Chains A and B, each alone.
Chain A
Amino acid sequence: GDSVTQMEGPVTLSEEAFLTINCTYTATGYPSLFWYVQYPGEGLQLLLKATKADDKGSNKGFEATYRKETTSFHLEKGSVQVSDSAVYFCARRVSGGYNKLIFGAGTRLAVHP
C-alpha cells in the first residue's frame, strides 16, 4: 500500500552543520510530496512541496528534490540553526476525489550551539 518512510531520529547536530533527513515513498504514479515542520507544542507548518518529478521545493534555506528514480524526497539544509530544532514530517498526497495526506513517522532534529 501507499506509505512514507523517514529516517529515524533523533538527529543531533551542531549549529551550522549540514542537515539531511531521508524520506522515501511508495506510490503508483507521481504524487505531490511535502515536508511539514512541527515546533514544540504546535501544529504542523508547511515547509516546502514539490508536485512533479525533478521539481525542487525550497523555503527558509531548506531544499528537497523529487526523485522519481529512487522514489525519494530527502530534506537538506546547508547550515542549521538552533531555531530549526523541531520534528520534520515527510508526506505524500493521495488523490482521487479527496485530498488526503499520508505522513511519515517524523524525524526529531535537535541543534545545539
Chain B
Amino acid sequence: ETGVTQSPTHLIKTRGQQVTLRCSSQSGHNTVSWYQQALGQGPQFIFQYYREEENGRGNFPPRFSGLQFPNYSSELNVNALELDDSALYLCASSKDRGQETQYFGPGTRLLVL
C-alpha cells in the first residue's frame, strides 16, 4: 500500500509569485486535507477536499486554493506569495471525509524570499 506522497520536497519562490504543490493520497483514500506548518508551530488547517469538491476551509485567504482530481490526488495553489507563506505544507489523506484518522505525507518546504 503506497502512502501519501508530495512534490516537490523543497521550493524557493520570490514574493508575488505563484506556487503549486502536489499530493497523491494513500491508496483507497478519497479525502485530502492540506495544512500549513510554520517553523516551530503546529500545523494549521487550510482546507479539505472530498470527491473533487472543497469540503471545509480554515482561516486562510482566497489566494490559497486547491483542486482534487478524479484519482483523488490534489493540488494546493498559492497566489501572490508573501514572506509569511514560508512554511512546511502538509497533505493528509483519509479513507472518507467522516474517517477521523488522517495520514500525512512528508511535506513540501516552501521558502519565499
Which of A's residues lie within 8 Å of B, judged by CB? 4, 32, 34, 36, 42-46, 49, 51, 89, 91, 93, 95, 97-106
| Residue numbers in B under 8 Å from A99 (CB-CB) | 31, 33, 48, 56, 94, 97-100, 102
Count of chain B residues with Cβ under 8 Å from any Cβ of A?
30
| Residue numbers in A under 8 Å from B99 (CB-CB) | 99
For the residues of A in contact with B, the DSSP-based class is: strand
Contact assessment for B104 and A44 in the assembled complex, using a CB-CB cutoff below 8 Å:
yes
| Residue numbers in A under 8 Å from B58 (CB-CB) | 100
24 residue pairs of the A-B complex, CB under 8 angstroms, read A43-B4, A43-B90, A43-B105, A44-B92, A46-B102, A89-B42, A89-B43, A91-B42, A97-B55, A98-B97, A99-B33, A99-B48, A99-B56, A99-B97, A99-B99, A99-B102, A100-B45, A101-B43, A101-B45, A101-B102, A103-B42, A104-B42, A106-B41, A106-B42
| Residue numbers in A under 8 Å from B55 (CB-CB) | 97-98
| Residue numbers in A under 8 Å from B35 (CB-CB) | 101
**Nearest 7 pairs of A and B residues by beta carbon:** A98-B56, A103-B42, A44-B104, A43-B106, A43-B104, A98-B55, A43-B107
Contact assessment for B104 and A36 in the assembled complex, using a CB-CB cutoff below 8 Å:
yes
In the assembly, what is the distance between CA of A95 and CA of B100, in Å? Answer: 8
| Residue numbers in A under 8 Å from B103 (CB-CB) | 46
Contact assessment for B100 and A42 in the assembled complex, using a CB-CB cutoff below 8 Å:
no
Q: Of B40, B43, B44, which is within 8 A of A44 by CB? A: B43
A42-B106, A100-B48, A100-B56 given as contacts; is B41 within 8 A of A93 (CB)? no
In the assembly, what is the distance between CA of A98 and CA of B31, in Å? Answer: 10
| Residue numbers in B under 8 Å from A32 (CB-CB) | 100
In the assembly, what is the distance between CA of A4 and CA of B48, in Å? Answer: 20
In the assembly, what is the distance between CA of A85 and CA of B45, in Å? Answer: 25
